[in-house]
Amino acid sequence: METVPTIFTVKKVTVETEQMHLLSLEAGKKWSFIPGQVAILGMEGIGESYYAIASAPDDQNGMEVLVKDGKGVSAALFRANKGDKMQGKGPIGKGFPVDSYPGRDFIIAAVGSAIAPMRSVIRHLCAKRGQSGKVSLIYGVRFPGDFSFLNEVKDWEKSGIPVTLTISRPEGMNWTGKNGYVQLHFQEALKKLNQPVALICGMKAMQEQGRDELVKLGVAPNEVLTNY
């Protein structure tokens, strides 16, 4: 973890959903981090909070974080504009050390804003595509309009990463994709993988239920990884 706070400048704001903005940040020095690690970001006089790094260590265009509209610093960062400055400390957390599993298959599961650390993982795996086995992503949200990074899904699939999109609130929605919680789709994804390492991120209940389901389906308990 960097001991001296880094001053970041917002160089771009991308609207992912009505509630999610992707902030592209630049600073005088580049952080070294593991995919899935977290930054502590703050604005003077407002406070600070934790945000998973959504870019990969290999990315050359600065660091990116996905910010959900909320209260306090989250509200301030969500409304940040190009040129605004913030302080960053980190990286913290154990992240997802995918490089420690060369040649292995991965099943990746994320819900809501937890797609941010998984984007870091996916972009890292894509940059090192020949060094891992098969990769499958299951990404769930409540409503169709809640998906972030939809513009990147086709690129991930072109890199050989099948993506299952699922919503948990399909009632009244014009949605022809998968329904239900992400763990309902583990069995189908696992059919295409060989003894995969599992990476899961989301609310505590999702992680607990997801872990139980993966172990029941044959994933080794010590190879169901979370980033904190």
* pLDDT tens, N- to C-terminus, the chain (228 residues): 656 899 999 999 999 999 999 999 999 888 999 999 999 999 989 999 999 999 999 998 889 999 999 999 999 999 999 999 999 999 999 999 999 999 999 999 999 999 999 999 999 999 887 788 999 999 999 999 999 999 999 899 988 999 999 999 988 788 888 999 999 999 999 999 999 999 999 999 999 999 999 999 999 999 999 998
Residue count of the chain:
228
Q: How far apart, in whole angstroms, are the C-alpha atoms of residue 142 and residue 168? A: 5
Domain ranges of the chain: 6-92, 98-225
> Of 138, 93, 86, whose CA–CA distance to 112 is shortest?
138
**Topology of the domain covering 6-92:** Elongation Factor Tu (Ef-tu); domain 3 (2.40.30)
The DSSP secondary-structure symbol of 106 reads: E
Other beta carbons less than 10 A from residue 154's beta carbon: 10
For residue 167, the cross-strand partners are 141, 179
Q: One-letter amino acid identity for 81?
A: N
Backbone angles phi, psi at 64, to 5 degrees: -125, 145
pTM of the model: 0.94
- DSSP code of residue 2: -
Yes or no: is domain 98-225 CATH 3.40.50.80?
Answer: yes
